[in-house]
Amino acid sequence: MEQELLDYINNHIIKDSSHLVDLKTDLFKGRYIDSMNILYLIGFVEKKLGRKLSNDEILMSNFASVNAIIKKFFNE
């Protein structure tokens, strides 16, 4: 799942291919994710989980990096 998330972010969300993210990249501090792209990323995670995320799950901390996403949603 790590590689799939990285590929999605680097190929569909990041506009500048010279600034690709890795597992630890802070997606918000690095300004890789904006208000529109976070919605696409949430949708991607929901599709992979096969369910909608609750409002309590949609926190910046849960989407701060690929590692954070994996830890919160795919390692439970």
Residue 16 lies in a domain: no
Instruction: Give the Cα separation of 36 and 22 in Å (integer).
Output: 21
User: What are the pLDDT digits (tens) for 5-46?
Assistant: 999 999 999 877 788 999 999 999 988 898 899 999 999 999
Contacts of 30 (CB under 8 A, 6+ apart): 19, 21
| pLDDT reported for residue 56 | 97
Instruction: Give the Cα separation of 73 and 76 in Å (integer).
Output: 6
- CATH assignment of the domain containing 67: 1.10.1200.10
Number of domains composing the chain? 1
User: Residue 34 sits in which domain range?
Assistant: 2-11+21-74
Does position 57 have pLDDT exceeding 80, yes or no?
Answer: yes
Instruction: Give the Cα separation of 47 and 58 in Å (integer).
Output: 15
